[in-house]
Amino acid sequence: MINNQEELLRLYKIMLTIRRFEERVIIDYQSGAIPGIVHSYIGQEAVATGVCTNLRQDDRIISNHRGHGHCIAKGADLNRMMAEIYGRKTGYCKGKGGSMHIADFKIGMLGANGIVAGGLPISAGAALAAQLEGGDKIAVVFFGDGATNEGEFHEVLNLASIWKLPLIFACENNGYGVNTPVKYATGLDHVSERATGGYGIPGVVVDGNDVIAVHEAAKKTVADVRAGKGPVFLEFMTYRWRGHYEAPGLADLRPAYELENWKTKCPILAFERRLLKDRAAEKQTLKDINAQVMQEIQHAVDYALASPLPAPEDALEDVYSA
């Protein structure tokens, strides 16, 4: 358990930053200020937060299309993230990538990825790099339950297993691949059975809406993987509150009661209640953190809005490296 109040509040602030960031992105998408596709992470904040707070800056993560939370939790700059989503020249990728391709190699964030399971082979390489370097760096790959039906997923489980790669498979099982229920698509209640049964990789099922549970599971796993014990599969049970992506009139075929039920298990409200009950924080402290987060998000939007759009011919740069 985390006994340190500072650490608890750090988790709280990261989760809240993700939530407020995503809420603002949705509003600005709906107003037309954000030009392109965004996939909201709302509802899953505890996973990125609980995992990434156990990592060092030199550990490497690979993310997926729903990647804002992973970026924020790994320490990405909100201004440059927002500027990227706004398509500005000052964004992380100079406006070339947008929401689905945010990366910050300086903090070990090796990129979000728009192809389901597409980041998994890359993560095997990042983990192999850590192994070859000979230190105790690790890699973490975030993906959803939907990725577990892709061939790339299976190839990489196998590779990680036979090479004993220092790689954590962080699977966010939010119950659906777009609109396809995981039970239908896999025939399993828990996709981690694929890791344990087929590839000899230890698998752990974790309540993905309980940030302390996520943090504890990740802490133990990170220590094991750092110690060279090979890959581990963490399956976080959670739920996304929004449709697969933001779009006017997007068909969301999930039953409405599910969302209502999961909203009662909001990872942030649950953690707030716990902090107050355990007297780990005063109500006012949480309010102050919220105000600070709101200010940071507003600052990020202001930064994006004040940033220039790229010139059309900037599109010609960065196809190749020098």
Partner 1 sequence: MRKTTYDQAASEALMEEFRRDDKTVHLGTDIPADLREEFGEARIRQTPIAESSFVGAAIGLAGSGFRPVVNVRMATFGFVAMDQFVNQAAKITYMFGGQAKFPIVYRMTVGASKSFAAQHSISPYSMYMNVPGLKIILPATPYDMKGLLKTAVRDNNPVISFEHMGLGDIEGEVPEDEYLIPFGEAVIRRKGTDVTVVALAKMMYEALAAAEELAKKGISVEVIDPRTLIPLDRETIKESVKRTGRFVVVDEACITAGAAAELTALVVEDPEVFKRLKSAPRRVCGLDIPIPYSPPMEKYALPDCGNIISAIEQVMKNK
Chain contacts with partner 1 (rule: CB under 8 A): 60, 62, 91-97, 101, 103-105, 110-111, 113-115, 118, 120-132, 139, 151-152, 155-156, 158-159, 162-163, 317-322
- Residue closer to partner 1 by CB (options 124, 214) is 124
| Backbone torsion region of residue 117, taken as left when φ is above 0, otherwise alpha when ψ lies between -120 and 50, otherwise beta | left
Shorter beta-carbon distance to partner 1: residue 125 or 202: 125
Q: φ and ψ at 288, to 5 degrees?
A: -65, -40
How far apart are CB 19 and partner 1 at their closest, in Å? 26
**Closer CB to partner 1, residue 109 or residue 182?**
109
d(CA 322, CA 313): 18
- Residue for token pair 């949480």: 286
E strands, 31-105, are 60-62
Determine the 3-state secondary structure of 268 from DSSP: helix
**Least distance to partner 1 from the beta carbon of 104, Å?**
8
Min separation Cβ 147 and partner 1, Å: 12
Q: Of the two residues 130 and 281, which places its CB atom closer to partner 1 in the complex?
A: 130
Instruction: Fill in the DSSP letter of residue 93.
Output: T
Angle between helices 283-306 and 267-277 (to 10 degrees): 140
Is residue 234 a contact partner of residue 213, using CB atoms and an 8 Å limit?
Answer: no
Smallest separation, CB 133 to partner 1 (Å)? 8
Q: What is the CA radius of gyration of the chain?
A: 19
Count of other CB atoms within 10 angstroms of residue 33: 15
CA distance 137 to 88: 33
Please state the closest distance from residue 158 (CB atom) to partner 1, in A: 6
Q: Nearest approach, Cβ of 220 to partner 1 (angstroms)?
A: 25
Closest CA to 67 of 33, 104, 30, 16: 104
DSSP state of 234: E
State the nearest-atom distance from the C-beta of 36 to partner 1, in Å: 13
DSSP state letter for 98:
-
Residue 181 or 200 having the CB closest to partner 1: 200
The distance of closest approach from Cβ of residue 153 to partner 1 in the complex, given in angstroms and rounded to an integer, is 10
Could you tell me the two tokens for 218? 């990740």
State which residue, 43 or 97, has the beta carbon closest to partner 1: 97
Nearer to partner 1, 106 or 263 (CB): 106
Answer yes or no: are the C-beta atoms of 205 and 190 closer than 8 Å. Answer: yes
Report the Cα 178 to chain-centroid distance in Å: 17
Which C-beta is closer to partner 1: that of 110 or that of 266? 110
